[in-house]
Amino acid sequence: MISGRFLDKTLKVDWLFLAVTLALMVCGVSLVYSATANSESVFYESFWFKQIVYFASGCLIAVGIVFLKIDWLKRISAPLYILSLVLLCVVLSSVGDVTKGAGRWIDLGIFKLQPSEFAKIAYLLTISYWLSNHPVSLYKVKTFVVPFLLFIVPFALVLKQPDLSTALVFIAVTLVGFFFAGLTLTDMFLLASPVLSVLFSHSQALIFQVLWGLLICAVVVALMRRRLPKVLTILFLAMNILAGYASSMVWNMLEPHQQKRVNTFLDPMSDPLGDGYQVLQSLTAIGSGGLTGKGFGQGSQTNLAFLPEEHTDFIFSVLGEQFGFVGCFFILVLYALFLWRASSTCKLFADPFITLITMGACTIFLFHIIVNIAMTVGLMPVTGLPLPFLSYGGSFALTCMVLVGGLLCMRYQGRRQ
């Protein structure tokens, strides 16, 4: 018979979560292989082989993280945060490797390190540790001072690279952290409203002006419902109105290539051979896949290199062309199972740190999934956010595995505090 102690340990291993993670990794390597096989000769220099190496290395790291004490993770959060800021400063110096106009990597010879990926993990640990001990409340503005300082520094450094899409990940993690640290959905809406005001008021189209007006009305209703101090009420209203009128200034703060991506998103046919080329080719690839796709390794958009960045940013388009709607649906089901099992850890323990780490990691995965897929089907501007486990990339593959290790650690070590 199995002893009670062994059974207790066995129950802590989420085999479905591990199986889904392995399935996603296998799908990722297979898609990278199918997208790049025609352009490679020596296997050990191929993208698919390197991806296997990255995943294997990440698995070793994840196994090590599983057995780390949660208290120890709390203690190293601050040093890791400081180290991440140092690396982000280094990448902005002459040491940083500039690719396509953005300095995001540090060339280590055999490996290019992307500090912003490391910063995601360090920031998640740090903000989770702080919020687990210091709940936030809109009625106590001072509770936001330290979290804001922790957020704004890495956010600004990543934005300086420039890497707007990755910088937005920090916003998503922060907002989710605030929610699980005491804010209500109404509070979250009020915090996000100035950003929505900028988005809605940027265009002169009637529909966007109407949306902005409805947003202001919703903000007024939310403020009346929460009955915040008069100073905060006036501040939120002023921020939304000023954000609306300052949208042109915010627009001018974007890099030229970021402005082009937004314009292309609104009208891909305005420059079909230029900035709209990626989106149009992606839509063509996914649409040509039909219900079941053209088959593994098949597809003109991928094989004839019409689809740019097919093994990284547009790997979902490769999936759609080769495996059609069925293949895309299968991957989405895997992602849903992955996030469901990952978030289930929160129900097992009452520790706020475990909840914040778990939901923060799920937020990073979900944000990448939504933005990347929406980008490939033309629902969002083109960004550089890769698709978890599927897109090629050393730093991001390691980030995914570190987060998986952290999720498993929260589940395995939770009862040992």
**What does pLDDT average to over the chain?**
82
- Tell me what pLDDT residue 314 has: 85
Amino acid, single-letter form, for residue 21 = T
Residues 6+ apart with CB under 8 A from 169: 120, 364, 367, 368, 385
Q: What is the pLDDT of residue 113?
A: 80
Predicted confidence (pLDDT) per residue in 302-341, tens digit: 655 566 677 778 889 889 888 999 999 999 999 999 999 9
**Residue pLDDT, tens place only, 347-384:** 888 889 999 999 999 999 999 999 999 888 877 777 77
Q: Which long-range contacts (CB under 8 A, 24 or more apart) does 155-159 make?
A: 157/85, 157/88, 157/89, 157/92, 157/119, 158/88, 158/116, 158/119
Count of structural domains, the chain = 1
The most confident of 170-174, 193-197, 412-416, by mean pLDDT? 170-174
- Mean pLDDT (whole number) for 160-167: 83
What is residue 98's three-state secondary structure? strand
pLDDT tens-digit readout, 12-28: 678 899 999 999 999 99
Is the pTM higher than 0.85? The answer reads yes
3-state DSSP assignment of residue 114: coil
pLDDT at 25: 95
Q: Residue 407's pLDDT band (boundaries 50, 70, 90)?
A: very high
pLDDT of residue 4: 40
Mean pLDDT of 207-212: 77
Q: Which one has a higher pLDDT value, 188 or 44?
A: 188
Domain extent for 366: 4-416
